[in-house]
Structure 1
Amino acid sequence: MLKQKVLKLSPSQLLFLIFGFFILAGAVLLKLPFSTKQSITWIDAIFTSTSAMTVTGLGTVDTPETFTRIGEIIIAVLIQLGGLGIMSFAVLIYIMLGKKIGIKQRMVIQQALNQINIGGVIKLVKYLFLFSLSIELIAMVVLAFRWVPLFGWKEGLFDSFFHAISAFNNAGFALWSDNLTQFAGDPTVNIVITTLIIIGGLGFTVLVDMFIKRRWSKLSLHSKMMIVSTIVINIVSMAFIFLFEYGNSKTLGPLPLGEKLWTSYFQAITTRTAGFNTIDIGSMDESTIFLFLILMFIGAGSASTGGGIKLTTFLVIGLAVISFIRGKDDVFIFKRTIKPNIVMKSLAITITSISIVVLAVFLLNITEKASFVKVLFEVVSAFGTVGVTMGLTGSLSFLGKIIIILVMFAGKLGPLTLAFLIAKPNKANFKYPSEEVMTG
């Protein structure tokens, strides 16, 4: 009977339940005495578990001061599960056991990895693990060369292991109370962490496409759009952060020129989705805060470990606007036309995302005693699964924590997945007569 009910669930509903189950399981493990140095409340355990599973990085408690080594390992496992996808791990287990993967499971994997077609999802999962574990291992070794001399073998290796997972999965969890501020001018840490963030944020589809085709001319349109737009947005963001914060005595001001550049570069990369920080976010200029809000809302790439509306979604809407202004009927880039249904989907994702953010900001302005900017920043950071904060997370009320938990959950699953939980998509087999409507 239970099996029949599960089979009747849509991929969106099944994904929702699976994520919910693992978040609760993680919370139970984090609440146990062996996971914490000091007792934490259930709501803080659920918040931390949700933040890890959704690869966000926001925390109502200080991670290194609150959790034992076992607790930190549990957080790392939750990050890996959330970043690579629970269904991806399920596929790996099925393959190892020699079991057949049915159409229902493939549809859930397609939904989880945000793929357009159901074909090739199993091969994508195999490549996903090959890439991910190899990249994390390499990063761990490189970081170990830097951190083992500083902290010793035991501490240095674990720090390298934890931060390699956290960075590649764009989680933003760190094992120091000041995050990565102490390494603001460290080239090794900056390069390794940002490289992991960029690779994880490009999306598994792009990584596989690059690995298989290896020539620009043969890459898919999605891959070309992601690669070019990632380079452009990172360079532009770094330049603006450098200019806005150059004279700020509480952030870049006191730093030498080299550290100013490293810090600007690091924050430009991490703010879109990862959530690490090497400067005090709450002390930044308002112009930088506004830039961060835009970057966090845009987020990373589709089928990546990051959140937000996704970079390609933002680009498609921008191209559609430009095409309309130029009087063009079609949206095109790189000598390819983008289908109208993709433009409609991008619009639906953006409007639904804005609606979630607006509702959460409205509710938090009622429950929390904080400025509008801090509330807005917290919500956008949670929705984009970024994890940077202006200091509001630690002082959230019980209701405020629940709201942010729901926003992180919504940001990870995606606005359309949540919409499909309520309304099952159904293509109409008829059309009504068309009529003009005045707009603008």
Structure 2
Amino acid sequence: MAVTDKRRRFSSVQIIVSFYLSAVLISTLLLMLPIFHQPGARLTFLDSLFTASSAISVTGLTVIAIHEVFNQWGLLLLTLLFQIGGIGIMTLGTFFWLVLRQRIGLEQRKWIATDHNRPTLAGLVSLMRSILLLAIFIELAGTIMLGSYFLAAGYHADWYTAYFHGFFASVSAFTNAGFDIYGNSLIGFSHDYVFQLIHMVLMVLGAIGFPVLVEVKDYIAHRRLNRRFTFSLFTKITTLTYLILSVAGALFFLLFEWDGFLAHKSWDESLFFALFQSLSTRSAGLTTMDVSVLSTPTLVMLSALMFIGASPNSVGGGIRTTTFFVMIATVIAYMRGRKDVKVFGRELEEDDIMRSFLVFFVAVSLVFAAIVLLVWIEGQPIQQVFFEVCSAFGTTGMSMGITSELSTSGRVILIITMLIGRIGIISLLLLLKKDERQIRYHYPKERVIIGQ
């Protein structure tokens, strides 16, 4: 009699999710060690779990004062967690495999494809190498610029402190982690435009998507050799959507706050406040002002931008910019009487269109459930809860100040929301998806009334 092996192999999605959950658990235990704390500081398990989850998901929401709890070793550990969550655990894994001269087989390539939401296995190792080198280059450049500026502007007197702060700020901005070591985000730099410009560039480079950065690098290389280069549809859609959302966010901020927060601000102050907050909603979460003083229309608009989030295969969360673009393009095509969706001389796959609406529906359901539960459990105003949940799901980290006031149940809800935002809706659905079974029959089809 044949022996049947009933052992079930784990899927690549399950493995990747287990990697991230393991990273959160290990990080939680590490962050509790006294070697990483300021003298006299202590960290409970729940606070450590929340901090680790926020760091791995590169969100930035905190229930503690980072600069009061962690010493320099603790801050260095946090930057490592930003890297794991930002550029991806499999990017770092590929780096170690290459250093150790280990063979990267088919199974490992599937893990990489799942972690970075890639449809094919071709060129993954080369892509991971490019992503890692670009991340190192950008973060190093940011460290040098910020550290040098801290010294030149007189923020820090000694070079070690200046460049250490520059390093932490550079990694936090590029990975869109949203953590700061000043205790009030970047409010103390609200009138320092040079500092803000450096941060805005780092935030954009992190949230625009790694494939876009790689294609820009390849474009520059082709131009030097006078070769023709064509950007992919992904890069065109991502860049256009990112630009439109950022500009629209800044314009709406100016419109809604012109007679409010910006009423007595100069034109340059107003412009930088609007642009920085708009770009930060892509996923960074760093702020140059107290967002709790903003009007309701502005808070709703910022929440919507955080819900959309950053580009796919970037350091950010949310439903992603391409999801939003495909939905809008599909609606416009339907209004024009077309069944197919054409953009930039290409026709979108029906499967991608269905996935976009599926991601949107599931994301709205999860965010709605989290809001209802938090309002029920915490009794906080729905406006503040709505903002906080969208910030967690978009792995943004902007806060109206209620996170530290949440109960244990409330914090657990935000932890789950942050991790889902980082892992992604598609990965969540694949994690819950059952094995496909071959259907040998179909029922008769019948139309139903939709929409009215």
TM-score by length of 1: 0.95
Choose the corresponding residue for 2:62, options 59, 62, 68: 59
* Aligned position for 1:337: 347
Whether 2:410 is the aligned partner of 1:400: answer yes
Q: Which of 344, 348, 361 is the matching residue for 1:351?
A: 361
Shift of 1:426: 3.0
2: distance between equivalents of 1:434 and 1:385? 42
> In structure 2, what is the Cα distance between the partners aligned to 1:7 and 1:27?
30
Query: Of 111, 116, 138, which residue of structure 2 is paired with 1:113?
Result: 116
Cα distance, 1:5 vs structure 2: 11
Shift of 1:427: 7.5
Is structure 2 residue 172 aligned with structure 1 residue 166?
A: yes
Task: Name the residue aligned to 2:16.
Answer: 15
Q: How many residues align?
A: 435
Structure 1 residue 428: Cα displacement: 5.0
Q: 1:218 aligns to what SS in structure 2? A: coil
Indicate the residue corresponding to 1:222 in structure 2.
234
1:113, distance to aligned residue in structure 2 (A): 0.6
Q: Which amino acid aligns with 1:416?
A: I
* Residue of 134, 150, 156 corresponding to 1:151: 156
Greater alpha carbon shift after TM alignment, 320-329 vs 255-264: 255-264
Q: CA deviation at 1:319?
A: 0.6
Pair 1:362–1:411, CA change in 2 (3 A):
same
Task: Output the aligned Cα RMSD.
Answer: 1.8
Tell me the distance in 1 between the aligned counterparts of 2:313 and 2:102. Answer: 25
1:185 maps to a residue whose letter is H
Give yes or no for the alignment of 1:190 onto 2:196: yes
Q: Distance in 1 between matches of 2:438 and 2:387?
A: 39
Partner of 1:34: 35
Kindly indicate whether residue 83 of structure 2 is the aligned counterpart of residue 80 of structure 1.
yes
How far does residue 369 in structure 1 lie from its aligned partner after superposition?
A: 2.4
CA contact (8 A) 1:56 1:274 kept: yes
1:264 corresponding residue in structure 2: 274
CA displacement at 1:7 relative to structure 2: 8.4
Deviation at 1:187, TM superposition (A): 1.9
What secondary structure does 2:374 align onto? helix
Structure 1 residue runs of 5 or longer lacking an equivalent are none
Counterpart-to-counterpart distance in 1, 2:348 and 2:178: 34
Q: Which moved more, 1:275-284 or 1:363-372?
A: 363-372
Please say which structure displays the higher CA radius of gyration. 2
- Superposed displacement of residue 256, structure 1: 2.6
Q: 1:320 to 1:425 in 2, by over 3 A?
A: farther
How many angstroms apart in 1 are the aligned matches of 2:329 and 2:170? Answer: 35
Answer with 183-192 or 14-23: which moved more. Answer: 183-192
**Distance apart, 1:247 and its partner CA:** 2.6
Query: What is aligned with 2:380?
Result: 370
Q: Contact 1:185 / 1:259 at 8 angstroms: preserved in 2?
A: yes
| CA distance, structure 1, for counterparts of residue 435 and residue 195 of structure 2 | 45
1: CA distance between counterparts of 2:7 and 2:272?
A: 50
CA distance in 1 between counterparts of 2:35 and 2:263 reads 43
Give the counterpart letter for 2:448 in structure 1. Answer: V
> Which shows bigger deviation, 61-70 or 420-429?
420-429
- The correspondence for 2:96, drawn from 93, 97, 114, is 93
Q: CA deviation at 1:49?
A: 0.5
Task: Give the C-alpha shift of residue 346 in structure 1.
Answer: 0.6
Q: Is the 8 A contact 1:272 1:295 kept in 2?
A: yes
Answer whether contact 1:185 1:263 (CA < 8 A) is retained.
no
For residue 241 of structure 1, what is the amino acid of its counterpart?
F
- In 2, are the aligned partners of 1:143 and 1:188 still within 8 Å (CA)? no
Residue pair 1:55, 1:170 contacting (<8 A) in 2 also: yes
Counterpart of 1:371 in structure 2: which amino acid? Answer: P
- Of the structure 1 ranges 312-321 and 227-236, higher mean CA displacement relative to structure 2 is found in 227-236
**TM superposition shift of 1:255:** 3.1
**Residue type at the aligned position of 1:223:** T
- Partners of 1:269 and 1:430 lie apart in 2 by 51
CA deviation string 1:272-297 (max 9, x = no partner): 21100001111101010011011001
**Identical positions, percent:** 33
Secondary structure in structure 2 of the residue aligned to 1:8: coil
Could you list the per-position Cα deviations for residues 372-430 of structure 1 after superposition, in whole angstroms to 9, with x for gaps in the alignment?
11111111110110000111111010111111001101110011211222224637566
Q: Kindly indicate whether residue 450 of structure 2 is the aligned counterpart of residue 439 of structure 1.
A: yes
Could you tell me how far apart the structure 1 residues matched to 2:78 and 2:429 are? 29
Q: For the Cα contact (< 8 Å) 1:180–1:276, is it kept in 2?
A: yes
Q: Which runs of 4+ in 1 moved over 2 A?
A: 4-7, 213-217, 251-257, 424-435
Question: In the TM superposition, what is the alpha-carbon distance from 1:63 to its structure 2 partner?
Answer: 1.0
Whether the aligned pair in 2 keeps the contact of 1:6 and 1:14 (CA below 8 Å) is no
Amino acid at match of 2:272: W
| Residue 379 (1) aligns with residue 389 (2) | yes
TM-score, length-scaled by structure 2: 0.93
The alignment partner of 1:156 has SS state of helix
Stretch of structure 1 that moved more, 145-154 or 403-412: 145-154
How big is each residue's C-alpha offset from its partner over 1:311-343, in whole Å with a ceiling of 9 and x where there is no partner?
010000111111111110101111111010000
1:246 pairs with one of 242, 247, 258: 258
| In 2: Cα distance, 1:25 partner to 1:108 partner | 20
* Alpha-carbon contact 2:207-2:315 (below 8 Å) kept: yes
Seen in structure 2, the aligned counterparts of structure 1 residues 198 and 7 have a Cα distance that, compared at 3 Å, is farther
User: Given that residues 51 and 408 in structure 1 are in contact (C-alpha distance below 8 angstroms), is that contact kept between their aligned partners in structure 2?
Assistant: yes
Match of 1:330, as an amino acid?
D
Distance in 2, matches of 1:22 and 1:223, equals: 31
Contact 2:393 2:421 in 1 (8 A): yes
Q: Distance in 1 between matches of 2:434 and 2:128?
A: 26
Q: 1:170·1:275 contact (CA, 8 Å) conserved in 2?
A: yes
1:37-48 to 2 correspondences below 5 Å: 37=38, 38-48=41-51
Could you tell me how far apart the structure 2 residues matched to 1:88 and 1:63 are?
Answer: 27
Local SS of the residue matching 1:274: coil
Answer yes or no: is the 8 Å Cα contact 1:185–1:258 preserved in 2: no
Structure 2 residue matching 1:151: 3-state secondary structure = coil
The verdict on how the C-alpha distance between 1:6 and 1:264 changes in structure 2, with shifts beyond 3 A counting, is: farther
For residues 100-121 of structure 1, the C-alpha deviation after alignment (integer angstroms, 9 at most, x for no partner) is 1111111111111111212111
Conserved? CA contact 1:308–1:411, under 8 Å: yes
* Whole-angstrom distance in 1 between the partners of 2:27 and 2:171: 17
Question: What does 1:269-308 correspond to in 2, within 5 Å?
Answer: 269-308=279-318
Unaligned runs of 5+ residues in structure 2 are none
